[in-house]
Amino acid sequence: MISSAKAQQKFLFNDTCLYPFFEYLKTNEAANILHLGDSHVQAGFLPNTVANKLKQKFGDGGTGWVFPYNLASTNGPDGYKWSSNTRWSADRIVDRNISAWPGPGGIVITGSGTLTYTGKNIGEAEIFFSEGTAEASDGEFTQEVTDFGQVARLIFHNPQSTFSIKLPRVQFYGAIIYSGNPGILYSSIGINGAQFMHYNQDAQTIPTQMQILKPQLVIISLGTNEAFGGITATQLRQEMDKTVNAIKETAPEASILFTTPPSGMMKKRQVPYKKKGKTRYRVSYVRNPQVAVIRAEMIQFCKDNNIAYWDFHEAMKADKSFVRGWNPDHVHFNAFGYTRQGSLLYDAIIASWEKWQQK
């Protein structure tokens, strides 16, 4: 008999809600996925693992959403790099005093100069910024006005590994990289410290994400910062409801999949001790009880609203390898932990896909 924890590791719950996405994936040459979240997503290892495995199975439609995190002095995914000949300032949705709308990616850089992107398999690029006219020396270049700013497009006849774009003083929001081939276009948007309320606080953030990324599936991995920030179950439900409504109003055909947060830990105490004449400290950790509260409310919300979810909080308990997956802060994972999480999420999605195919 399969244990409850093992079952939760392998399968999604309410996965019939994903059947429209599976049908789209089967009947179309390409499918767009948006993975929205916090620092667990910004680090890149989790979404990249899911993306790479899905692309191996269904084809590689491109890198998806990319942002110059390094130019904003923060961490970002591996696999691509941005550089510039000038310095840029940054604003994030989690900042208290924001000088500019952080854009669809929840983070924006402000400045002027040339931005150079280096990645792989670039067939087309859509570049999003606030105003003014861009210049590019590579590819077929066009520019048009959108509801929230400018979009410049670069189309290449052969796959490229780099391109540059010169901008006047602008708020730069990010870009979408397409391979030009059929398959999965997997975009990840994650901001360190983000909660549902941060993505909800500006009414145009989520609708703009839906407008430009056009996802058939939205994966939402939030909840950790709510658990450590003292958010009540009622407040969480209200914010989840806002997020879901914003998605459904702008992208009614998109399927939604929630993942519960990992069982993060808090520092319990620091015990001093002497070693070689120096005072050192042993730190002990205890589980954050609020994580269980957040998990339970997320699951109840999904049940009440008939939304698919993957209970990672319980799935990781069935996988002893996560013992070596923690970052030293015991809130985040190291590269191994996030890669393992991504593999488990992929396995759960594919298990539901295979079940759908047999119906």
Q: Domains of the chain: which residue ranges?
A: 1-59+184-359, 65-181
Give the count of beta carbons closer than 10 Å to the beta carbon of residue 114.
14
* Residues 286/290/296/300 CA torsion (nearest 10 deg): -170
Name residue, tokens 């497009």.
Answer: 153
Which strands, in side-by-side order, build the sheet including 255-259?
Answer: 60-62, 183-190, 30-37, 217-221, 255-259, 308-310
Instruction: Identify the three-state secondary structure at position 243.
Output: helix
Tell me the β-bridge partners of 72.
Answer: none
Q: Dihedral of CA 293/297/311/332: which sign?
A: negative
Which residues fall within 8 angstroms of residue 315, CB to CB, at 6 or more apart? 5, 8, 9, 344, 348
In whole angstroms, what is the distance from residue 6 CA to residue 46 CA? 20
25 residue type, one letter: L
Contact 308, 15 (CB under 8 A): yes
pTM: 0.94
Contact between 89 and 74 (Cβ < 8 Å): no
- Residue 91 and residue 103: Cα distance in Å, rounded? 9
Query: 3-class DSSP state for residue 18?
Result: helix
Nearest to 139 by CA among 153, 129, 150, 127: 153
Q: In the prediction, which pLDDT does 239 show?
A: 98
**CATH number 2.40.128 is the correct assignment for the domain at 65-181:** no
CB environment 309-328: b (16+ within 10 A), e (fewer): bbbbbbbbbbbeebeebbee
Place of tokens 């959108």: 146
The answer to whether 97 and 219 are in contact (CB under 8 A) is no
Q: What is the pLDDT along the chain (359 residues), one digit of tens a residue?
A: 344 444 445 689 999 999 999 999 999 988 999 999 999 999 999 999 999 999 999 999 999 999 999 999 999 999 999 999 999 999 999 999 888 899 999 999 999 999 999 999 999 999 999 999 999 988 999 999 998 999 999 999 999 999 999 999 999 999 999 999 999 999 999 999 999 999 999 999 999 999 999 999 999 999 999 999 989 999 999 999 999 999 999 999 999 999 999 987 666 666 666 677 777 777 767 778 899 999 999 999 999 999 999 999 999 988 999 999 999 888 999 999 999 999 999 999 999 999 999 97
Strands 217-221 and 30-37: parallel
Class of the CATH domain delimited by 1-59+184-359 = alpha beta
pLDDT (tens digit per residue) in 184-221: 999 999 999 999 999 999 999 999 999 999 999 999 99
What are the residue ranges of helices labelled H in the chain? 4-10, 19-27, 39-42, 45-58, 196-200, 205-213, 224-229, 233-250, 289-305, 312-315, 335-357
Phi, psi of 206 (to 5 degrees): -65, -45
The packing angle between helices 233-250 and 205-213, to 10°, is: 40
pLDDT tens digits for range 340-356: 999 999 999 999 999 99
pLDDT of the residue at 9 = 52
DSSP 222: -
Q: Could you tell me if 32 and 187 are in contact, meaning their C-beta atoms sit under 8 angstroms apart?
A: yes
